[in-house]
Amino acid sequence: MSQTIVNRLCLGTGDLLKGNLKERIDVFRKFYLDGGRLIDTARTYHDGKSLRIIKKLNLKFNIIAKPSYFIKDDKIPLKKKFDEYKRLCGYKTIDFFITHWPNEAISKKKVKNLIKLKKYRSLKNIGLGNARLDEIKKFHKFSNKNLNAVEIELNIFNFYFQKKILSFCKKNNIKVFGYSPIRWSKYKSFNNKSLKLIKKISKSYKIDFIDISLLFSLYKNIIPIISVKNLQRYNKIKKLDKFIDNKILKKEIFNLEKEIRKIEIVDPNKIWYLINNNKVKLENINFNFDELEMIKNEIKIHKSALKPILLKKKGRFYRVLDGKIRCKALYDLKKKINCIIL
Ligand SMILES: NC(=O)c1ccc[n+]([C@@H]2O[C@H](COP(=O)([O-])OP(=O)(O)OC[C@H]3O[C@@H](n4cnc5c(N)ncnc54)[C@H](OP(=O)(O)O)[C@@H]3O)[C@@H](O)[C@H]2O)c1
């Protein structure tokens, strides 16, 4: 089959039960009809309900599965989790079994357990989710170079800070799934030079910044995992097919990324997090020593961060980089989440 944009994308199920379910399901059906096969699922999404919906669809997707990372499920053997997963989604074969959050230390034993699942022939590939480079390297080594894929948050804003992960994966033939390529686009503000570049691209190609963000991941050979809430959005994405091999646009978007990298700052008034049903606004804050110690301590306790935390020192201060604000340590600050997304 020739490569179209549809078969370079992965549809996510994290938001499957948000809003209009029927419209979201229409997207899955159309995606399948168009030759789209990859879908991303997890045991924790809507407490298994999204898996049941996938089962009902009765289509032969290639499925990315992620077992629960919740502490309450810690004691359940991986094989049992895997079998339950297959039962819930109705798939006899799972294409990718990927850890969800690396809140457990990576040990030889755990890696061996994961590899063992492949022996049952109902699992094709194994992978690691939300891991730091050193964890990816460790897993790769323990698995005797049998790490098939990683799933990380990847978009035009945080690409630069994950370059080392990407080059390691490229060198070792590890597939990269990059989730949330679009999500942050609406929260960003740009400097004049970036705005000019965006305007120029938009005018020449009749695409918007959301399209640009998605194309960026594709041009970097990452498989973007996206949430598409209706057919209108899906059809808009499909129109990008004609740009897939456009080298000039690719160059222009890469130039834009270089410019964005330096300057873009989220408008704290436009983003908030829900904590105990309270909307918590993000505000600019300078990380002090104690807060940094807390983050470091968290890493020590869990032997890894819940999400890779990328801190950047700017002058005397540290700032948390894009997308990493969900790290547990920041919730634990027990006050307003104060951070800035560069
Ligand atoms: N492994 C992990 O830890 C992990 C973490 C997160 C996600 N994931 C996977 O990745 C999948 C996708 O994540 P995601 O939902 O963050 O990806 P995404 O598609 O980059 O982001 C979706 C968000 O972007 C907005 N959006 C998309 N298209 C838009 C458009 N044309 N105009 C305006 N807004 C637009 C959506 O708005 P609306 O609300 O209006 O739709 C939604 O808020 C998830 O379903 C899940 O499968 C995995």
Q: What are the pLDDT digits (tens) for 226-268?
A: 999 999 999 999 999 999 999 999 999 999 999 887 533 334 4
Q: Which residues does a 6 A CB cutoff place in the pocket of ligand 1?
A: 12-15, 40, 100, 129-130, 151, 179-183, 186, 210, 225-227, 229, 233
Distance CA 291, CA 217 (A): 33
3-state SS, residue 283 = strand
Q: Which residue has the higher pLDDT, 272 or 17?
A: 17
Q: What is the pLDDT of residue 249?
A: 98
Q: How far is the CA of 143 from the centre of ligand 1 (A)?
A: 31
- The region of weakest confidence among 64-73, 155-164, 174-183 is 155-164
Host H or E run for residue 52: helix 49-57
Q: How far is the CA of 28 from the centre of ligand 1 (A)?
A: 15
Averaged pLDDT for residues 119-123: 87
Type of residue found at 269: N
pLDDT at 162 over 80: yes
Q: What is the pLDDT of residue 294?
A: 60
Tokens of 256: 């834009």
Q: What is the pLDDT of residue 283?
A: 47
pLDDT band at 318 (very low <50, low <70, confident <90, very high): low
Nearest to 173 by CA among 141, 138, 149: 149
Tokens of 263: 């300057």
Q: What are the pLDDT digits (tens) for 53-79?
A: 999 999 999 999 999 888 788 889 999
Give the position, in ligand 1's atom list, of the atom nearest the Cα of 16: 45
Q: How far is the CA of 132 from the centre of ligand 1 (A)?
A: 22
Domains located in the chain, CATH noted: 6-182+209-240 (3.20.20.100), 267-331 (no CATH)
What residue's CA is closest to ligand 1, atom 15?
A: 227
Identify whether the C-beta of residue 126 lies closer than 8 Å to the C-beta of residue 98: yes
Type of residue found at 254: F
User: What's the whole-model pTM score?
Assistant: 0.85
